[in-house]
Structure formats: C-alpha cells, structure tokens
Amino acid sequence: MKQITFSFILFFFILSVGFSQTKDPKAKVVLDGVSQKYASIKGLKASFDFSYSDVSDSRVQNQSGEIAIKGDKYHLKLPEQEIFNNGKTVWTYIATDNYKEVTINNASDMENELTPSSVYNIYQKGFNYRLIGEKTEGGIVIQEIELTAEKSNAPFKRVKLFVDKNKKDLISWEIYDDQGGIFKYKFKSVNTNAELTDEYFTFNPQKYGRVEIIDLR
C-alpha cells in the first residue's frame, strides 16, 4: 500500500472543466464552520477506517488506524507504520517482521502536503471548492463538498469532504491523486476533548528497540 502521509497526506487538485475557477460561497460557509470548530477544540483523538484503490486495479486495500491531533501536531497510527509530527520534526516509523526504521524530516519541508491537521483548513489557500449537495444517512444530514487545486501540476487532483451539517463535524473524506489512486477515510469514533501531552507527538526510539535511523534533515 502506498505510504501515507495523508499527504491523511496532508493535501493538490484540479476540477473538471466548468468548475475549475469557482469558490462556492455556500461551500465556504460549511468549511469555515468545520475549521472554526476544529480550531476551538482541546485535542482530537479518533479511530478510522481507510481504503485505497486504483483505477487500473479492481482490488481495494483496507486498513484501520488511529489519529491524534493537537493544533499543528499529529500522531498517526497504521498497521506497520506510525507518523509523529510535533510541529517542527516529522518521524515516519515503519516496522515489519524483518526490520524497523524511522525516517526524519523537517516539518517545514512537508508543509505543502496534505496532513491530518491540515485537512480542516486546506481550502483556505490555493483551492477551489463547491457544495455538491446533501444526503441523509442514519438520521444525519451530510453535506458533500468538493475541493480542487488551482494548479494543474498538483499531486492530488481532488478532495471530497463529508460534513455533519448540524454538528459541523468532518465525518469522512476522499483524496484522488494524479495516478488514479483513491484514498478514503471514515471516522469510527471521535474524542474532541482528548488530553494529549506534547511528548505524544515526538518519536522516542527507546520505546521501539533497535531501529535504523534515516535522518533527511
């Protein structure tokens, strides 16, 4: 499966002809509401389901994971992979039966990527957006918004956000890359009042045993 930095990943998009230069004011109201609510929370911790598919391959790869977010910091857990971002440094830790390694980058070198913490406000710079419509599932009114990049050479072509209209919560999102890949994320449980220490977002090699370190800073 493609390595995920959400950038998930983190992040970009071009819309089809006819919508390529639009910023829908109705969509902006919804996006502003979600962004403002996220900015006001103490800390977010959630579990989610994730899938990846490709237009050239009918197979769908499924995983589950956990995410913690505090401001611009995040800690993402996936099978065989964890990503720590403390706002200054990003550690990507990968563990298999045969080896363990961690790659270290400066957070500033990844600021243009789509990340768990930027999904709530990516629309604010360099993106067009439109409100596609509403639907009701399980008694919840869900608003669907499509974001597309203003630049044609962006690595991700499109993002769809699905928002709980009444609670202004992000329920799920989809990311379409420039290779025909589709990433889908859906929250299963969310705690928006999580107590998260700063240490939780920093990789501590002492907790992981013998690890190969690849420092790209």
Higher pLDDT, 47 or 10: 47
- C-alpha R_g of the chain: 17
Question: Considering the domain boundaries, does residue 8 fall inside one?
Answer: no
C-alpha to C-alpha distance for 143 and 165, rounded to whole angstroms: 6
pTM for this entry: 0.78
Q: Which residue range(s) make up the domain with 172?
A: 25-212
Q: Which of 83, 35, 61, 46 is nearest to 187 (CA)?
A: 46
Beta bridge partners of 213: 102
CA distances from 20 to 13, 121, 144, 157 (A): 10, 19, 17, 11
Question: Considering the domain boundaries, does residue 128 fall inside one?
Answer: yes
The mean per-residue pLDDT over the stretch 185-196 comes to 92
Tokens of 16: 């089809």
Domains identified in the chain, total number: 1
Q: Which of 116, 110, 141 is nearest to 38 (CA)?
A: 116
- Tell me: the pLDDT tens digits for 52-85? 888 777 788 898 999 999 988 999 999 889 999 9
How many residues are listed for the chain in this entry?
A: 217
Question: Considering the domain boundaries, does residue 19 fall inside one?
Answer: no
Question: Considering the domain boundaries, does residue 217 fall inside one?
Answer: no
Percent of the chain with pLDDT over 90: 48
Q: What is the CATH number of the domain that holds 73?
A: 2.50.20.10
